[in-house]
Structure 1
């Protein structure tokens, strides 16, 4: 089982972070607190599990391995349920306040009293699947029309999940980054409102709102931990998840954790950004199996946090995805079985390989006292793909 991790070639770059105030200012403590107060009031809210994996930790000669399992989140299968729906709600709040010339509360939007007005506001986004599913769910919750753009490699199962939530799904026959551009263009032409998890020049508020929603995960983690983790291995697509978890961990527990941002080697825009020192796009010439991480253009807002707080950037090959998913599903000894999707195991795969390879283990400061936190960002978001990967020997 271990051989494939022992032989895997991971990319690693170590940079000298220059701590500033981005962890406090990109998303403020009030931003995170307001998001937590709103999201925790929704029907069906429940903290997701933080699994302890002592058998895996022992096998890797680490002190502790913790896995935040976002599979059960609101029945939507991923952490994205915290971001898209929340940010969409705030887009509606701002627009309705302008149209009605008075402050509008989120409660008014959710209680149905403004349904006629909401029905005139279309929310849109590009997605690899999970963010769009969250936005579609949030739009259905309040009665807003929703139009979701997907790229050519998004599975039909994920597309149908969004249709089942009432969204109109439009497939763009190109990659994710092109689907973002098409979303922006058509939304501008039609007066629709983009709810994106990535930022661009002149468009930063909504991505910040998305990331504020993600902070709920870290609040739940911090409520159960007595000691700060020594390491956080967190995956990056455009960077929003990594930036949100990093910023909130700094706010809640102070500095001292070593942050390791992990990406597929096929879509390593954060790795390129760390190498160049500025937010840098890379071409996605082949789609990664980790569909939610197939992003070639980093979010500038997310990069503000990551460039100040993260020193280690790692890339993982496709060959590790299946073995990591199967290990989660069929764990060592008494460790809990976890139904973790393709994107969820990016950090897990990197940790296993790094812990077992002496050079990388030393470079990342891993040892028998390390307490490592992993973010399991999704569960089974496409049942057919999951079953095919997990049942493969």
Structure 2
């Protein structure tokens, strides 16, 4: 399903939003992250897929590959560390901590009894656990029933204490909040709710790093015009999309690219938000193979940015995501093979669905001249799940990718 957002506008980035998320703050976050050994140095790859673009009938197709961000394997390595650093700076102003020194563990002894907690589908919890380990504070992660043991073990490897519940993601969020109150701990979540916006804001600000790199990696198409006509964004609670859309909006203003939001059919909280005009809940089961997007409630803070910046909202079936994973892994017709996890491929799956229908393609103004940007948000963060869905391991795909690079160099 696809709908146009009747509230979408193409105008200058509103000052009221700039007070929340800005290029200036994103640059500060990026500077701090560059000093953290939890992420790899330099920008993640922005790769062009000319063969797939030709097959789909679009002008250009680009993919920002966040699987290479760090050993965590996803974009979540950018949000949780920044939120945790900013939280500690607010809580302990008298200590005069330095942000870079926090991430290097210099204040480990002073923060040994400071505890943070969060619910997660996997990647956010892993990012928070990694940051907490570097800083030296305690971390507790609440996991719902659909989070795999494989993802649990990956989080626990960073020293986090795991709490399991029988419910879904939204119930794990509620559980984390109640545990935090009982123990006087602090929730570090990537979704907002009434009275809780500072930390989700900081998480989203960390995601601005992705957009900043993309702007630097691509030439402008014209004065204040993006190199891309369309950007496909994954759903979830909306935090990643808000972090990226706000950055592009501030840079390009009224000339910003068109944004298309893609979600699982059964976790369509942003689609429902577009229908109602306010942050809403999903009408589905919220159980999707796209685990990182299996969220039932829109982040109200994220919605402040998305309600006017996203031009279209759409939903896809799980099978479409699996097909997209296989397409990127194959590297058909000389394109670079890419390891993209279940939640990473929503944008490509959405694009393919649109292009199957000339009517839908016309509705979103995608044609042979369109320049499309996709954000591949994760690699094989659950290796066994990836292998089962794609039919080969991530290692095999990476070997093929290495061979592609070797051929390119030769």
TM tier relative to shorter chain: over 0.9
1:232 partnered with 2:231 = yes
Q: 2:167 — aligned with what?
A: 174
The 5-angstrom pairing of residues 97-136 of structure 1 reads 97=93, 101-136=94-129
CA distance in 1, matches of 2:355, 2:157: 42
On the 8 A contact 2:2/2:312 being kept in 1, the answer is no
Counterpart residue number, 2:189: 196
Q: Distance in 2 between matches of 1:338 and 1:24?
A: 34
> Could you say which residue in structure 2 is the equivalent of 1:5?
none
> Structure 1 residue 202: deviation in Å?
1.0
Unaligned runs of 5+ in 2: 221-225, 393-410
Matching residue of 2:146 = 153
C-alpha displacement at 1:284, in angstroms?
4.5
Q: Write out aligned runs for 1:20-169 (5 A).
A: 21=14, 23-43=17-37, 44-97=40-93, 101-169=94-162
Q: Which residue in 2 is equivalent to 1:371?
A: 371
Sort the Cα spacing of 1:259 and 1:23 in 2 relative to 1 into closer, same or farther, 3 A.
farther
User: Post-superposition shift, 1:26?
Assistant: 2.5
The SS at the match of 2:278 is coil
TM-score by length of 1: 0.93
Shift of 1:311: 1.9
Q: Using the TM superposition, give the Cα deviation of residue 309 of structure 1 relative to its aligned residue in structure 2, in angstroms.
A: 1.1
Report the CA distance shift for 1:14/1:115 in structure 2 as closer, same or farther (over 3 A). Answer: closer
- Cα distance change, pair 31–388 in 1 and its aligned pair in 2 (3 A): same
Q: Which shows bigger deviation, 176-185 or 23-32?
A: 23-32
- Partner Cα distance (1:349, 1:54) in 2: 17
Structure 1 residue 319, shift from structure 2 partner: 1.8
Corresponding residue of 1:341: 341
Cα deviation code 1:26-80 (max 9, x no counterpart): 3022221111111122223331111101011111111101101100112111000
Once the 2 structures are TM-superposed, how far is the Cα of residue 266 of structure 1 from its aligned partner? 0.7
Aligned to 1:7: none
2:361 is the alignment partner of 1:361: yes
Distance, in Å, in 2 between the alignment partners of 1:112 and 1:11 is: 47
Residues 141 and 162 in structure 2, CA contact (< 8 A), matched pair in contact too: yes
Please state whether the residue corresponding to 1:170 is helix, strand or coil. Answer: strand
Q: Is the 8 A contact 2:192 2:301 kept in 1?
A: yes
